[in-house]
Structure 1
Amino acid sequence: MHQAGLESAGLFPGICLRTVQNFTQENLISILESDWKKFKELRKIALDRFCQGVLADANTITGHDALSSQARYVMLHRLMRDRHNDIGRIFDAYSRYKAPMALRLMVRHDLLTDAELSILSEATQQDLADVVRQPYELEWIEEIERED
């Protein structure tokens, strides 16, 4: 797992999830009206894909019987907290002014395919060309040592 774009787990060591790129004002440029209409469709696809990914990761964590219930709970808690923050960053930006930033985040987290993005204007596709795809990955925690 490459370390670029990862943040440390903080309270729960061993879990690393992708961070959201910081954007400057130049990333907050309104898109064409035709792209705005297409953005609305792409947003639905990406949101569904995001939620499917969270549910799949939660299922993977809860089904990992080699870890104690406590360790799985800690991982699940961290997953849900981090993804809850990300869903807000990615999908709460629902305006033409914020759509380019939201699209960049959707591409960064690999929530839209190149084929799906091909419906956008050439200019918008060019704006997204430099985004590096970094899908979410789970990093398993070490078993939690109990001090009884």
Structure 2
Amino acid sequence: MKESDWKKFKVIKERAIERFCTQALDEFGEVISNTDEHVHNRYLLLYKLVQNRDKEMSLIFDDHSRSNAPMQLTAIRAKGLADESLLAELSDEFREQTDPKRFGWE
């Protein structure tokens, strides 16, 4: 991996984490504010949702290293979390290598 791609990947990943967390918090807020649902059911749903989002976050973002960067970026792109303007700054090779369509992820 080129040094320039590594540097840009770190920024893409940081912004993707922000997007992921924002989306998760929005989901949590919807569950919490759904007064049509009994409070205990909302609690149980929220608990399960937090667990699922935590697992998903771990799968996508944990183990930050150059060797994991291609798979992480592929997952980030598949989830629609990547900043498109930053993706455009990556080398053609790295962008093609991390295209989720290659793996049928989109």
Name the counterpart of 1:7: none
| Alignment deviations for residues 78-126 of structure 1 (CA, whole Å, 9 cap, x no partner) | 1110111111111113111000011011111111143331111101111
CA distance, structure 1, for counterparts of residue 28 and residue 56 of structure 2: 16
8 Å contact from structure 1 (residues 93, 102) kept in 2: no
Name the counterpart of 1:116: 86
Where do 4+ consecutive residues of structure 1 move more than 4 Å? Answer: none
Aligned length: 103
CA distance, structure 2, for counterparts of residue 79 and residue 33 of structure 1: 37
1:33 matched to 2:3? The reply is yes
TM-score (norm 2): 0.88
- Normalized per residue, which structure has more helix? 2
TM superposition shift of 1:64: 0.8
> Which protein shows a greater Rg?
1
TM superposition shift of 1:73: 1.0
Unmatched segments (≥5 aa) in structure 2? none
Secondary structure at 2:90 match in 1: coil
Task: Indicate the percent of aligned positions where both proteins have the same amino acid.
Answer: 30
| Alignment deviations for residues 25-47 of structure 1 (CA, whole Å, 9 cap, x no partner) | xxxxxx22211111111111001
In the TM superposition, 1:35-54 aligns within 5 A as: 35-54=5-24
Secondary structure at 1:104 match in 2: helix
CA distance, structure 2, for counterparts of residue 93 and residue 107 of structure 1: 17
CA distance, structure 2, for counterparts of residue 123 and residue 67 of structure 1: 49
Name the counterpart of 2:66: 96
Opposite residue 88 of structure 2, the aligned amino acid is S
1:84 matched to 2:58? The reply is no
CA distance, structure 2, for counterparts of residue 46 and residue 88 of structure 1: 13
